[in-house]
Copies of this chain bind each other. A is one copy, B any other.
Amino acid sequence: MTDVLSYRPKPDELSYTFGGREPVRRVSPGTVLELYTEDCFGGQVRGVDDLPSRVCDLSSLNPVTGPFHVEGAEPGDTLAVHFVSIEPARDWAISSTFPHFGALTGTHTTAMLHAPLEERVWVYDVDVAAGIVRYHARRGEYTVEMPLDPMHGTVGVAPGASEVRMTITPDVHGGNMDTPELRAGVTTYFGVNVPGALFALGDGHCRQGHGEVCGTAVEAAMNTTVIVDLIKGVGTPVPRLETDAALMSTGSARPLEDAYRISQHDLVTWTADLVGLDTLDAYQLISQAGEAPVGNVCDPNYTMVAKLDKRYLGGVSAYEGVHARLRDAAAVYLAGR
């Protein structure tokens, strides 16, 4: 029988870093976690007049739920987190520009002498039953529906080398990768750096364009269910994702070509290892068959994903089939809900 843990953090239980925090709960591999995650504004932006720089405490942006200590996880293992479902918790969601944040504005690192762009908030209608969100222009009457496509921007484990990182930063421990590929049905893999792995997640998006060009997505609190599992004695160099149809490697770095290089390099060497190809043969295979979905081009590190359809793998399975098992477990859980 499956353990199920339901957990909704109180405001003072939210985390703003990966690492440096005591776990909020301890769970066994195989546990189903029914979680609530707050939006990236800490729920403080509720209308077009709530400018984030005014209503948000800047040290309290991008809260995550967790961390969770997974029993038995040790450095050198891999944590698998399967996303069973991601459901918006409200019938509205928020996006905004933010001073000196985004891809088409000067920032604190791409430092320029321009005044910041106008800070502006957009409120989206969210209709989970219909599967849509609705955009409203702030100047003029234009409005349009977009498909609901829920995802989590921020997922990860405690970093290695005793580091503690703000949740806004993606790196090899995961974090704020902001890839739309991280939706329900996906299994994510993280190399474990500390005992218990200390997994946390947050920053739900009703949907997101590629690169999150203005710096924020359709930001929403989420009711999200995941199943955690553990692959002992197998490392994972960068966060990876798996769906029924594809394998994915991530890379988070600057400049953007390095994020691309990290993700493609990992996909090439992982594929070589799985299929039994030599490195250049795998390089060639990925060169023609590989995809490269853009994650974010706005966070402290940019994120790229390298993706390969499983049809090119000759039938082999990654991580000894853990994704399929978690998928089955998710189906059983959902059927019984």
Contact = CB atoms under 8 A, between A and B. Distances in A.
A256 B211 CA distance: 12
Chain A interface, >50% SS class: loop
A330 B24 CA distance: 50
A260 interface: yes
A290 B146 CA distance: 11
14 contacts: A16-B162, A17-B162, A20-B162, A104-B268, A105-B112, A109-B261, A114-B117, A161-B166, A163-B164, A207-B288, A209-B292, A211-B292, A218-B288, A256-B256
Nearest to A119: B280
A291 B257 contact: no
Contacts of A312: 144, 146
Contacts of A262: 108-109, 111
Nearest to A285: B135
B260 A209 contact: no
List the number of copies, as a whole number: 4
Interface residues of A, number: 87
Contact of A97 (B105, B140, B268, B283): B283
B117 A286 contact: no
Interface of A: 16-17, 19-20, 59, 95, 97, 103-106, 108-115, 117-118, 120, 122, 133, 135, 137-140, 142, 144, 146, 161-166, 207-218, 251, 253-258, 260-262, 264-266, 268, 275-281, 283-292, 294, 297, 302, 311-312, 314
A155 B140 CA distance: 38
Contacts of A213: 264, 268, 283, 286-287, 290
A19 B281 contact: no
Contacts of A278: 137-140
